[in-house]
Amino acid sequence: MADTMHETDRTKYEVPQSPYDEFMAAQGVPIHRVLGARDVREVELGEWPRLDARGAFIQPHGTEGLWGMFVLGVPARRATAPERHLYEEVFYVAEGTGTTEVWTDGTENQKRMFEWQAGSLFTVPLNAWHRIVNASSSQAVLVASTTAPPIIDLLGFGSFTFDNPATFDSEFEEQADYFKYREEVTVEPVRKQPLLRSNLIPDLVRCNLPSDPSGRRRHHVELKLGSGKQFIWVGETDLGRYAKAHYHPAGPILFCLRGRGYTYTWPQSAGTKPWESGNADAVLRQDYGPGGFVAAAPAGGDWFHQHFGVGDVPLRLLRLGGAVNGFNAGPPGVTVVNPNVSIKAGGHSIDYEDEDPHIPAEFARMNEEATR
């Protein structure tokens, strides 16, 4: 026994499966652990008996235990099996048209119903029964962002999580127009960004976006859906511009709504100029078009990442997942520097004049190819 203990390498261990990992495996559909994808409509799906549909889980790098994501394929003229659960779900429609029905115990004969199309974003009230109906002649594809990992890791995936009679969203019970699109833009109180509160947005791809009040050449609005805690925004950068490289904790997923582009991401240990310093092999790249996505901060977070739109259509991205206030930076009342501020001033961003020369050169080359 003593010899066996002596031979054991105590400097390494294998990460065990979490309850959420076990839940995904029990569903019998493919599980994709990836940095991103060019288009979720190309992701392999499998039969999903629990939902009477097709689907696949996606666990973007760095989101383990923090955020969940799955692709749902609803066959033509079919509806998913009804379900309810104690975790949040926000759906983006990548392809198709249809309706969603929502109800609570005792209101089965008074179901709320709303329509959706490609480009729609909507949420389902926490723990409300719901099913997704595809009345069209082709498959509908929806992408869901969920808080399932932390909930299932804490509560398991038994009846307490999936068959709990508790109600949580009083607004759903009280508001007959809960799924009415609300266009009024207010101001988010923490970072003073434009904020849109609406439980359904019919067309996120073509809706108008307010100009970023910070003066950057982009358009941006934060979204608050229902009582959910997901930090969500939509941003679009002007043609010929791209985001500064920056870092923050893991969790966010960037989903491409319009245009085409790519993301670079690399560990801080590779430096602010990874190509120039001989660390180009540490840089990861994900290309995408409409329907594609990338994990913004993989490998546990705090990796530099930078997003680029190429061609003659502005790149519009949907940010899903992450903490309710964007970043958990410390206890209440502590003043922190916005991560978009230069690292020279205590923030997390690399100024354009300090970035690796490879970055603007590659951006120019990609734009030239895209506009030929």
Domain spans of the chain, in order of start: 19-169, 185-370
> How large is the average pLDDT for residues 248-269?
93
Question: What fold, for 19-169?
Answer: Jelly Rolls (2.60.120)
Residue 93 in contact with residue 291, Cβ under 8 Å? Answer: no
The CA-atom distances, in angstroms, between 359 and each of 35, 221, 265, 366 are: 20, 27, 12, 11
Kindly report, residue by residue over 87-120, the tens digit of the pLDDT: 999 999 999 999 999 999 988 888 999 999 999 9
Domain 185-370 has CATH 2.60.120.10: yes
How far apart, in Å, do the first and last CA atoms of the chain sit? 69
What confidence score (pLDDT) does residue 5 get? Answer: 54
pLDDT over 80 (residue 291): yes
Residue 273 in contact with residue 356, Cβ under 8 Å? Answer: yes
pLDDT over 60 (residue 127): yes
Task: Name the DSSP letter for residue 293.
Answer: E
Q: Which residues of 238-251 are buried (b: 16+ CB within 10 A; e: fewer)?
A: eeeebbbbbbbbbb
Percent of the chain with pLDDT over 90: 73
What confidence score (pLDDT) does residue 4 get? Answer: 57
Taking phi over 0 as left and psi of -120 to 50 as alpha, with beta for the rest, 146 belongs to: beta
pLDDT over 80 (residue 328): no
Task: Name the DSSP letter for residue 194.
Answer: E
pLDDT over 80 (residue 215): no
Q: How many CB atoms lie within 10 A of CB 46?
A: 15
> How large is the average pLDDT for residues 81-85?
97
Q: What integer best gives the mean pLDDT of the chain? A: 91
Dihedral over Cα of 200, 206, 210, 211: its sign: positive
Bridge partners, residue 316, by sequence? 236, 258
Helix (H, G, I), strand (E, B) or coil at 340: coil
Enter the tokens of residue 40.
């979720």
pLDDT over 60 (residue 326): no
Could you tell me how far CA 179 lies from the centroid of its own chain?
21
Dihedral over Cα of 203, 100, 53, 72: its sign: positive
More confident residue, 371 or 38: 38
More confident residue, 216 or 223: 223
Enter the tokens of residue 20.
């959420």
Place of tokens 């950068």: 237
**For the whole model, what pTM was predicted?**
0.93
Identity of the residue numbered 298:
P
Residues with Cβ within 8 Å of 262's Cβ and at least 6 positions away in sequence, in order, are 285, 286, 287, 288, 307, 308, 310, 366
Helix (H, G, I), strand (E, B) or coil at 222: strand
Q: Which residues of 30-43 are buried (b: 16+ CB within 10 A; e: fewer)?
A: eebeebbbbbbbeb
HSE, CB side, 13 Å, CA atoms: give it for residue 273.
Answer: 11
Confidence band (pLDDT; 50, 70, 90) for 8? confident
What confidence score (pLDDT) does residue 322 get? Answer: 64
More confident residue, 168 or 153: 153
Residues with Cβ within 8 Å of 226's Cβ and at least 6 positions away in sequence, in order, are 88, 123, 124, 125, 126, 169, 171, 172, 199
The strand pair at 53-58 and 31-32 is best described as: parallel
Kindly report, residue by residue over 276-286, the tens digit of the pLDDT: 999 999 999 99
d(CA 27, CA 146): 16
Confidence band (pLDDT; 50, 70, 90) for 167? confident
pLDDT over 90 (residue 204): yes
More confident residue, 360 or 329: 360
pLDDT over 70 (residue 317): yes
What confidence score (pLDDT) does residue 40 get? Answer: 97
